[in-house]
């Protein structure tokens, strides 16, 4: 869907239901601000933070908000892992790329020492721990998670060399109950568990997205109610259906999206045929 169509028909700067909305326009869920504050404090001392929740609950967007806040801090070095499912060798290669350390796959001990030396240099010069953000962390190999714990720990576990925030679905905290990962789970210092949003918060999210995109009246009041009720507390369900309705609205050249469009889209074909026959 092209931006010119969105602007011409609805006056939108961008698609409010698309995942790639501007970072500065992201919505902050209730209770998230306190978690951000705790992570910002962890940057001074190091440690592990955890974001978890059901699929579609807003974990990745929360992590994106956190990344933006940390990057505004100036001297905080933030690395975002792109491939959490890597083997141990590729895990070290990516860490080397993120923190500017040339690592040899044949010398993993040398890589271990080089990374820790780089982090110590950063701490000495800025007093801040480097930050590693890992989305979809439930996909990480157990060996990589163990290595992550060992890499960041020094002086008999009395010193943390970095701040790590792991983000994943409910499988991630479950894995921390296994013998191999229980030591990592016990070191999590700040947790954020994202729950399904209540209707009021989901409506606030919807209003925020429309307002920031440039057209708070894109949807009728009845359609907003229908979207919130249909989503069942899940932001991804709501925005996914909103994107579908926006595409339909453009295809029909509608000046505004209403609940009639919603019911036409979500009703089974057999029900739609019966409705048309009854109307005739």
CA distance 90 to 184: 21
Q: What is the CATH number for 249? A: 1.10.8
What residues make up the domain containing 224? 3-16+197-279
- How do 159-160 and 153-154 pair as beta strands? antiparallel
* Pair 236, 179 in one domain: no
- Quick check: pTM over 0.75? yes
Q: Do residues 73 and 43 make contact, with C-beta atoms less than 8 angstroms apart?
A: yes
Q: Do residues 90 and 139 make contact, with C-beta atoms less than 8 angstroms apart?
A: no
* Pair 232, 262 in one domain: yes
> Cα 279 vs. chain centroid, distance in angstroms?
45
Torsion-angle region of residue 113: left (phi > 0), alpha (psi -120 to 50) or beta?
alpha
Q: Which two tokens stand for residue 272?
A: 């739609």
Task: Using the 3D structure, point to which of 159, 194, 229 is the last residue of a domain.
Answer: 194
Q: Do residues 51 and 62 make contact, with C-beta atoms less than 8 angstroms apart?
A: yes
Cα torsion 66, 70, 76, 79: sign: positive
Classified as helix, coil or strand, 29 is coil
* Pair 45, 180 in one domain: yes
Classified as helix, coil or strand, 154 is strand
Task: Using the 3D structure, point to which of 153, 173, 194 is the last residue of a domain.
Answer: 194
* Pair 182, 95 in one domain: yes
Q: What is the CATH number for 71? A: 3.40.50.300
User: Per-residue pLDDT tens for 122-175?
Assistant: 999 999 999 999 999 999 999 999 999 999 999 998 999 999 999 999 999 999
Number of domains into which the chain is organized: 2
* Pair 211, 190 in one domain: no
User: Per-residue pLDDT tens for 122-134?
Assistant: 999 999 999 999 9
């Amino acid at each position: 869907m092209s931006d010119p169509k969105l602007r011409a028909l609805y006056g939108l700067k961008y698609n409010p239901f698309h995942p790639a909305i501007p970072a500065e326009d992201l919505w902050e869920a209730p209770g998230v601000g306190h978690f951000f504050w705790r992570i910002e404090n962890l940057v001074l001392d190091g440690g592990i933070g955890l974001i978890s929740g059901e699929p579609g609950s807003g974990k990745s967007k929360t992590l994106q908000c956190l990344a933006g806040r940390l990057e505004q801090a100036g001297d905080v070095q933030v690395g975002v892992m792109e491939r959490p499912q890597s083997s141990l060798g590729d895990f070290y290669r990516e860490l080397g790329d993120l923190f500017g350390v040339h690592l040899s796959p044949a010398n993993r001990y040398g890589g271990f020492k080089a990374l820790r030396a780089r982090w110590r240099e950063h701490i000495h010069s800025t007093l801040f721990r480097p930050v590693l953000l890992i989305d979809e962390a439930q996909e990480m190999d157990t060996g990589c998670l163990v290595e992550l714990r060992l890499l960041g720990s020094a002086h008999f576990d009395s010193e943390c060399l970095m701040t790590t925030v792991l983000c994943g679905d409910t499988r991630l905290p479950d894995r921390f109950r296994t013998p191999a990962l229980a030591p990592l789970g016990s070191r999590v210092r700040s947790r954020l568990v994202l729950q399904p949003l209540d209707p009021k918060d989901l409506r606030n999210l919807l209003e925020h997205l429309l307002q920031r995109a440039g057209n708070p009246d894109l949807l009728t009041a009845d359609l907003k109610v229908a979207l919130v009720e249909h989503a069942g507390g899940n932001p991804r369900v709501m925005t996914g259906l909103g994107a579908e309705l926006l595409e339909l609205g453009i295809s029909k050249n509608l000046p505004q999206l209403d609940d009639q469009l919603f019911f036409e889209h979500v009703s089974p074909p057999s029900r739609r045929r019966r409705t048309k026959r009854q109307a005739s």
